[in-house]
Structure 1
Amino acid sequence: MNNTIKCQLNHRTIREFKEKEVPKDLLEKFVEVIQRTASSTGMQTCSVIRVTDKEVKDKISKVCGQEYVARAPELFIFIVDAYRNNKIAEEISGKEFTESHDMDRFFQGWTDAVLAAQNLTNAIESEKLGAVYLGSILNDTNEIIDILNLPKLTFPVLGVAFGYPNQEPQLKPRMDMNLRLFENEYKAFDNYKEEIKEYDEEMQTYYDLREANKRVDSFSRQVISRLENTLESRAKILNSVVRQGFDLKTEK
C-alpha cells in the first residue's frame, strides 16, 4: 500500500494543535496543491481566504461555536467566487453578464471549493500535520460574509483549520459500505435499523475527544438528534445565497 492511501485510511480529525507555526515552505506547497486542484471547466471558480488576524479568527470561532478555531495555527476559508470571472468578462467585453448569477456558476464554485479543501487536507496529513473541516462557518453565513467582507457573487463554503497535532484521537468507525456503495442504481433497504445494528454497537465504543472519557451515542441516535436540533439559520441558507446575488431560477 502506498503512503498516499495509508494517510487517507488513517484520517482523523484534529482539533487541538501545538503552539508551533507551520513553516513558510510548507504553506507554499499547500497553496500550490490548492492551485493545482481540478476545477470545473477550468474556470477556477473558488478562492481561499487565509485568516491570520486574531480578532477575525475570534469572530469566526464564535460563529462556529468552537473555541479551538481561534487557537488553530492556520485557518483557510474556501469560498465560491463567481465575482472574479464576472469582473474579467465585464472589463474585457464592456457588457454585463447575468449568467454569472446562475446556480450553475454557484455549484461549480462550491464543488471547486470542496475539492480544493480535500486536496489541501490530503497534503496536510501527508506532511504529518493534522486538520479539521469547519462546516460550522455556515452556522451564520451572513455574519461570515460580513466578517470576511465578501462581495456579491461570492459565498462561504467551508473552513480548514490545521497545524501540528496535539492529540491522538481514535479512528472513528464508519458504516459498512454496503449501505453506501451501489451498482447501477440506488438500493433502498427494507429495514435500516437492522442493517446498522452492528454499526450502532461499534459507535458506542468510540470516544470523541471533545467530551473526554465519554463514549458517543449510537449512530441512529445521533441521526435523530441532528434532525431534532436543526439550526434555523442553516435551514434558511438559500436566502443568504440569494442575498449574495445568485439567482435560484426556481419554477413555481
Structure 2
Amino acid sequence: MNETINMQLNHRTIREFDNRAVEDEVLEELFEVFNRAPSSTGLQQCSIIRVTDQKIKDEIMKVSTQKYLAKCPELLIFIVDIYRNSRIAIENGFKDNSYRDMDRFFQGFTDALVGAQNMVNAIESLGLGAVYFGSILNDYDRICEILKLPELTFPVVGLGFGYPMQNPQIKPKMPVNLKIFENKYKVFDNYMDSIKGYDDEMTNYYDTRDEGRRSDCFSKQVVKKFEDIVIKRKDVLKSIAKQGFNVE
C-alpha cells in the first residue's frame, strides 16, 4: 500500500492541538495546494477566509457551539465566491445576470469542498491534523455578517488545523457495499439487518473511546440527527437568496 493511501485510510479528526503556530512556509504550501485543486468549468468559484482575529473566531464559535473551534491554531472558512467572476464579467461589459443562478452557486459549492479536501490531504501528509466544522452553518446569515461576505458569496465549511495533541481511535465506517453500486442504485430489503454489524461496531467504539460514558449505535444516531432540527438551517434557501442568488 502506498504512503498516500495508508494516510487516508488512517484519517482521524483532531480536536486538540499543540499551542504551536503553523509556519508561514507551510501555510503558503497549503494555499498553493488549494489553488491547484480541480475546479468546475475551470472558473475557480470559491475562496478562503483565513480567520486570525481571536474575536472573530469567538463569534464563529458561538454559531458553531463547538468550543474547540476557538482554540484551533488555524481556522479557514471556505466560501462560494461568484462575486469575483461577476465583477470580471461586468468589467468586460457583460449585461446579463446569469451569474446569479443556482448552477453557478453549486459549481462554487463543489469547488470549495474539493479544495478543502485537497488541503486536508496535504495537511495530514505533513504530520498536522485537521477538523471540519459543518457547524458554522448553524446560522448562515450570522456567518455572512461576521465575515462581511458580499453578495454572490456563501459559507460552505470551516476547517481547523494545526499540530495534533491527540491520537484518537479510527472511527468505524459503514461497509462499502452499502455505498458503492454498479450501474444503478441498489435498494436493500432491510437496512437494519444490513447495518447490524456496523451498529455493534459503533457501540463498541463509543464504549471504548468514552470509557463507558456513552453507548450509541449508528442507527440511533440517524434518528437523533433527524429529530434535532436546527431551525435556521431549514431556511437555507432564504439565506442563499439574501446573498443575491436566484433560488427559483
Shift of 1:179: 0.6
Q: Hey, what's the Cα distance between the residues in 1 that align with 2:64 and 2:212?
A: 24
Tell me which amino acid in the other structure corresponds to 2:161.
F
- Contact 2:73–2:160 (CA<8 Å) still a contact in 1? yes
> In structure 2, what residue type is equivalent to 1:102?
D
TM-score between both structures, scaled by the size of structure 2: 0.97
Q: Which residue matches 2:48?
A: 48
Distance 1:146 1:171, change over 3 A: same
Residue 233 (1) aligns with residue 232 (2): yes
Structure 1 residue 207, shift from structure 2 partner: 3.3
**1:205 offset after TM fit, Å?**
1.1
Q: CA deviation at 1:214?
A: 2.9
Question: For residue 34 of structure 1, what is the aligned residue in structure 2?
Answer: 34
SS of the equivalent of 1:120 reads helix
Q: CA RMSD in A?
A: 1.4
1:206 and 1:215 in contact (8 A); partners too: no
Amino acid at match of 2:245: F
The equivalent residue for 1:60 is 60
Taking the TM superposition and a 5 Å limit, the aligned residue runs for 1:120-139 are: 120-139=119-138
Partner of 2:86: 86
Gaps of 5+ in 1: none
Contact 2:169 2:209 (C-alpha < 8 Å) held by counterparts: no
Quote the Cα distance in structure 2 between the aligned partners of 1:3 and 1:148: 37
Partner of 1:101: 100
CA distance in 1, matches of 2:171, 2:245: 37
Q: Which runs of 5+ in 2 are unaligned?
A: none
Q: In 1, Cα distance between the equivalents of 2:148 and 2:208?
A: 34
**1:123-155 per-position Cα deviation (integer Å, ceiling 9, x unaligned):** 000001000011101000100000000001000
Offset, 1:97: 2.9
Alignment partners' CA distance in 2, 1:176 and 1:107 = 29
Give the conservation status (yes or no) of the 8 Å contact 1:80–1:155. Answer: yes
Instruction: Count residues in correspondence.
Output: 248
Q: Residues 210 and 141 of structure 1: is their aligned pair in 2 closer, same or farther, counting only changes over 3 Å?
A: farther
Q: SS of the residue aligned with 1:214?
A: coil
The answer on whether the counterparts of 1:79 and 1:157 sit within 8 Å (CA) in structure 2 is yes
Q: Percent of aligned positions with the same letter in both sequences?
A: 56
Q: 1:194 aligns to what? A: 193
How far apart are 1:208 and its partner, in Å? 8.6
Q: Is residue 206–residue 216 contact of structure 2 (8 Å, CA) maintained in 1? A: no
Residue 139 of structure 2 contacts residue 233 of structure 2 at CA under 8 Å; is this kept in 1? Answer: yes
Q: Please state if 1:184 is matched with 2:190.
A: no
Q: CA deviation at 1:236?
A: 1.4
TM-score, L = length of structure 1: 0.95
